[in-house]
Amino acid sequence: TSSLYLAGLTATFFASYTTRKLGRRLTMLIASFFFIIGVILNAAAQDLAMLIAGRILLGCGVGFANQAVPLFLSEIAPTRIRGGLNILFQLNVTLGILFASLVNYGTAKIRGGWGWRLSLGLAGVPAGLLTVGSLLVTETPNSLIERGRLEEGKAVLQRIRGTQNVEPEFEEIVQASRAAQEVKHPFRNLLRRRNRPQLVIAVLLQIFQQLTGI
């Protein structure tokens, strides 16, 4: 189990690069690929090494998905429901954990010693849904603008907002993208004295959330 979390932690750093350079949609597709291959290896595992390899790939999928999906939701959603959609992401993660526990409870009662394969194989269902969803959705306007594709980003923004009058939001995204590109050494800036209180609070919030058992 720890191999999954360690892989997820490591993959997050690579996912940060792909999310920025390749886009949110492609990063979600990469996550889907890791999930599907990981599920296949786990469900068909013949030894411990194969099982661990599958868990590592699943961890990579978690790292890429956790990087891209919340960002995708934030950028694609209208301002008035943006917070709610991001909360739904965390809610669905928690519901998924509950559902997985129920599946494990049920498959543990299967006689013949193959219940664990069914339990691990059923993870392919959400992996498949993520793959299909990633293929159907559009790239976010923020990602396109960030990569210099301004006209395409504006067209996507008009399509998802359902109106041609998107100039204020479009200009806001363009300005935010330019301001972000002007920042040099972002990680070094985080460690500067003036930013340390905010950094410590953000880190502690995540730690305390996990310690509550969520």
The per-residue pLDDT for range 83-130, each reduced to its tens digit, is 888 888 888 888 998 999 999 999 988 888 889 999 999 999 999 999
pLDDT category at 79 given cuts 50, 70, 90 is confident
Give percent of the chain above pLDDT 70: 99
Q: What is the mean pLDDT of the chain?
A: 90
Predicted local confidence at residue 214, as pLDDT: 59
Selection from 126, 150, 1, 122 nearest residue 69 by Cα: 126
Query: What sign results for the dihedral spanned by CA atoms 66, 2, 97, 211?
Result: negative
**Domain segments of the chain as ranges:** 1-137, 138-182, 185-214
CATH class of the 1-137 domain in this structure: mainly alpha
Angstrom distance (rounded) from CA 92 to CA 163: 30
State pTM to two decimals: 0.86
Cα(173)–Cα(198) distance, integer angstroms: 24
142-to-92, 114, 154 alpha-carbon distances in Å:
24, 46, 9
Average pLDDT over residues 44-68: 93
